[in-house]
Copies of this chain bind each other. A is one copy, B any other.
Amino acid sequence: MEKYQQVIDELIKFRNERDWEQFHDSKNLALAISIEAAELNELFLWKKDNESENVKIDKIKEELADILSFSFLLAEKHNLDIFEIVLEKIKRNGEKYPVEKAKGTAKKYDEL
């Protein structure tokens, strides 16, 4: 069995055992992703560039796992294949950020 499917199955089992699907509309799942993302960011708050890699890996793990969990649940709700949608996005980004213009600069595509 593929690993991703196993993870999705565990997430859904966890959710269903607690009868939580009633709370998991798309809007609230999106909000949950955003709240977990803020918790990840809090690990880096007030850090200077040269301290940005000193954050405890255990904390990064936890917050990233939360972001991924809610992202997977939102993908599953809409029957999205997380790998396909990323591959498609990379392709679209290739058009927005052609190598010759985007190389070495962090500018947004509309400023290139």
Contact = CB atoms under 8 A, between A and B. Distances in A.
B44 A69 contact: no
Interface in A39-66: 39-49, 52-53, 55, 57, 60-62, 64-66
A41 B35 contact: yes
Contacts of A31: 31, 41, 44-45
Interface of A: 2-4, 6-7, 10-11, 14, 17-20, 22-23, 25-28, 30-35, 37-49, 52-53, 55, 57, 60-62, 64-69, 71-72, 74-75, 78, 80, 82-83, 85-90, 92-94, 97, 99, 102-104, 106
21 contacts: A6-B83, A7-B83, A10-B87, A14-B90, A14-B94, A18-B99, A18-B103, A28-B45, A28-B46, A28-B52, A30-B41, A30-B44, A33-B37, A33-B40, A34-B34, A61-B78, A61-B80, A61-B88, A64-B74, A64-B85, A65-B89
